[in-house]
Amino acid sequence: MANSRGVPLWDSLTIERRIIPDQGRMTYQPRQDWFTIVAPLRGLCQFEYPDGSGWHRTTLVSGDTSRLVGKSAVRLWQPPAGKQRAEVAFIALPTQHFRYYADEHPEVDLRDLSSLETPRVFDPVAAAMAPGLLRARDAGVGEHYAFRAAHYLTAHLLHPHIDQRSDTHGLNPERLLAVTDYMRENLASHITLEDMAREALLSRYHFVRQFSTATGKTPVQYLTELRVETACHLLTTSGELISQVGTRCGFPNAGNFARVFRKHLGCSPLQYRQRSEPS
């Protein structure tokens, strides 16, 4: 079976690409009884999700994913005046894959899939699969490929540290997570490549090379985007002075904050705050 564009439809998983409207929100309704992974393909994407107390917001960048168990709709939008149009992939797996896998692996305790649900998690494995799945789908690769990919993703989600046993000397997922957590926890400080390499237990040379391979960005690029995205969040959710926001995000002075922010989003921090305010 194929869709209206002649692209074959898979049964084992689905993959969808969407471009977020410029200066607008996009609503996504997860499929019921499916597990959905939201992965940015390019650009900076703000993600809004509901719970019992209302709507909450986080920001997804390259390497981040959001995990949803088909329930309420979520909203995605691009920050005001973003220079690069945000593009997002949605990978959906039937929840039966998880039940079958748990039946075959008694060590897996799968009582409730909601335990896997999270609005944001750094997952370069799933994020890196999204472009490949899109290329395979568009090239007409058959169902067998989709089934194997779904099985791999299921195993990865249920065994989040399985990859670390296969590589005890490189930048495995656990060490990569340690580095990005270190960045987030020390964002206001001056973080050097040596600091990050030390967290990864690698030499500076090997750290830069392996981090770039895993995330598609250099450590400095990733850290800068993390600072900008955190600044976006603070500008829209706090009443702090703009200079205070810049300091909290690790920018050395107001001029540097404004210059870097404008380079990434095409506007000043003040303009971003004003455009994000409700009309």
Give the residue extent of every domain in the chain: 14-160, 165-216, 221-276
pLDDT number for residue 247 = 95
With a cut of 60, say whether residue 214 has pLDDT above it.
yes
- The answer to whether 15 and 89 are in contact (CB under 8 A) is yes
pLDDT number for residue 77 = 83
Q: Which residue has the higher pLDDT, 24 or 156?
A: 156
pLDDT number for residue 238 = 86
With a cut of 50, say whether residue 165 has pLDDT above it.
no
With a cut of 80, say whether residue 202 has pLDDT above it.
yes
DSSP bridge pairs for 25: 77
> What would be the CATH architecture of the domain defined by 14-160?
Sandwich (2.60)
Which pLDDT tens digit goes with each residue over 6-32? 445 799 999 999 998 776 788 999 888
**Backbone dihedral region of 12: left (phi > 0), alpha (psi from -120 to 50 degrees) or beta?**
alpha
pLDDT number for residue 2 = 47
pLDDT number for residue 191 = 95
DSSP bridge pairs for 56: 49
Q: What percent of the chain has pLDDT over 90?
A: 28
- The answer to whether 223 and 183 are in contact (CB under 8 A) is yes
pLDDT number for residue 260 = 94
Overall average pLDDT of the 88-92 stretch: 95
- Domain 165-216 falls in which CATH fold? Arc Repressor Mutant, subunit A (1.10.10)
Could you give the CA distance from residue 134 to residue 113 in angstroms, rounded to a whole number? Answer: 25
With a cut of 60, say whether residue 162 has pLDDT above it.
no
DSSP state of 162: G
Place of tokens 């499916």: 34
With a cut of 70, say whether residue 83 has pLDDT above it.
no
R_g of the chain computed on alpha carbons = 20
Could you give the CA distance from residue 232 to residue 272 in angstroms, rounded to a whole number? Answer: 8
DSSP state of 21: P
> What would be the CATH architecture of the domain defined by 221-276?
Orthogonal Bundle (1.10)
Mean pLDDT of the chain: 83
Q: Which residue has the higher pLDDT, 20 or 85?
A: 20
Could you give the CA distance from residue 64 to residue 120 in angstroms, rounded to a whole number? Answer: 7
Could you give the CA distance from residue 228 to residue 266 in angstroms, rounded to a whole number? Answer: 12
With a cut of 90, say whether residue 223 has pLDDT above it.
yes
Which pLDDT tens digit goes with each residue over 96-133? 888 888 888 777 777 778 888 888 888 888 888 888 89
With a cut of 80, say whether residue 35 has pLDDT above it.
yes
Q: How confident is the model at residue 164 (pLDDT cuts 50, 70, 90)?
A: very low
- The answer to whether 62 and 127 are in contact (CB under 8 A) is yes
With a cut of 80, say whether residue 266 has pLDDT above it.
yes
Overall average pLDDT of the 140-152 stretch: 89
CB atoms under 10 Å from CB of 114, counted, come to: 11
Fold agreement between 14-160 and 165-216? no
Overall average pLDDT of the 129-145 stretch: 89
- The answer to whether 246 and 260 are in contact (CB under 8 A) is no
pLDDT number for residue 167 = 43
pLDDT number for residue 80 = 62
CB atoms under 10 Å from CB of 271, counted, come to: 15
